[in-house]
Amino acid sequence: MEGAPDYSHIKQRYMDAMFRTDNVSLMRSVASYGFMLQLFLISVKTDPSNIWRCGKKAFAIGVSCMVMPFAVLNLLSWFFEVQHVPDDGGRTVAAVAGVGDPNALVTIASLVSDTMFPVVAEILAELRLLNTELGRLALSVSMIIDYGWSLTITIATVVMRTMYEQALPLVYSALGIVAMIVFLLFVFRPWVRWIVRQTPKDGRIAEGQVLMVLLVVMAMGAVSETFGARVTDGPIIMGLLVPSASPLAVAIAEKVEVIATGLMLPLAFLNAGMLTDFSTIEHPKVFLGLQLFMLAGYVIKFFAAMAPAVYYNMPVGKAALLGLMLNFTGLMQLLIYVDSLYSQVIQPEAYAAIIVIIVAVTAICSYLVAKLYDPLTPNKTVAYRKLKHLD
């Protein structure tokens, strides 16, 4: 607006003073390691045997939540106008004004349709609902959705690369991931069980053993990313293999929780937030339209979770709470959006719109779940919580 004061130079001076370029990469590395530790800790607290007991109901809900939002959002993406603009090299490329590459809408649709297991586990742990009946069902469904999407994307990538005779690197990646899983199942798992057996009742785990476990977490994160998986996949599998009620799990929680949750993890959110720049908004209608586009996907996923849950005789109130849990969004999605911003798949103003809707939806869903779900009153479908449930 003409005549309005320009404060951009003040912001730039603040950013230069607070976030020096030579320190940002270090901050991101520390944040990534903190995120790995946090997800490893959540997996340690999770009893995997409870996750797999939900059977056909979890599978039906998971497939419904994967397919319905993605299909509808791909239809709604036709409302965004695709333009042909020159790129830096002088070539004409397709782009959606205010959003970015046309594939950005497909990426956003897939992320809205995806419910990532680590995110759901993290928020449920924060709400102390991780090992409740509904919490276990939400974890089962989120695992089906998360790894279902990963398998779908992998197959699509293999098919596309095979067409261009580039499938061999994917074969090497698959073999590397299989080798990592074999190592964790047949080397790491017996080792941690040996540690638990060697620890006397009411005894303490040696500091060196806990340190070795944390070093393996770092190594598995690096191996996962090297072979094309997510940096968190190795640590999550590791955490699920640690006996959840063992002295080792208690020792890990004591050593890791404060530093990961209180120090390292906030850096990851700081990194995501510092990239949000509302001054880049040049297409207000597209900015609002993208938020409505994503909101429509979350609403569709809510009902896509409710329908099969009610079909399997779940009370409507609990089905609604499950739909809210499956709309939890967190740092995993933020990291993918950050990567999309760096690779110029999405534009800065689209990233700002995405951040706003993610924060709003997750805040509303987590607040409603915390207020309305009382796992200690099984005879009431939805009730205000009067006692704090301990996970």
For domain 28-372, which architecture applies? Up-down Bundle (1.20)
* 355 band by pLDDT with thresholds 50, 70 and 90: very high
Average pLDDT on 286-302 reads 95
Q: Where are the domains of the chain?
A: 28-372
Predicted confidence at residue 384, as pLDDT, reads: 40
Does residue 357 carry a pLDDT above 80? yes
Q: For the whole model, what pTM was predicted?
A: 0.79
Average pLDDT on 6-21 reads 65
Residues 168/150, Cβ–Cβ less than 8 Å: no
Distances (CA, A) of 273 to 138, 228, 355: 28, 26, 8
Structure tokens at 26: 């270090």
Residue carrying structure tokens 């586990």: 121
State the Cα angle at 83 between 78 and 84, rounded to 5°: 140
Predicted confidence at residue 263, as pLDDT, reads: 76
Average pLDDT on 47-62 reads 77
Alpha-carbon span 357 to 292, nearest angstrom: 9
Does residue 319 carry a pLDDT above 80? yes
Structure tokens at 349: 């103003």
Query: pLDDT tens across 228-256, in order?
Result: 777 778 888 898 888 877 888 888 888 88
Query: pLDDT tens across 65-97, in order?
Result: 999 999 999 999 888 877 766 666 666 666 787
Alpha-carbon span 136 to 47, nearest angstrom: 9
Of 39, 8, 5, the residue nearest 220 (C-alpha): 39
Other Cβ atoms less than 10 A from the Cβ of 295: the count is: 14
In one letter, which amino acid is 251?
A
Predicted confidence at residue 100, as pLDDT, reads: 84
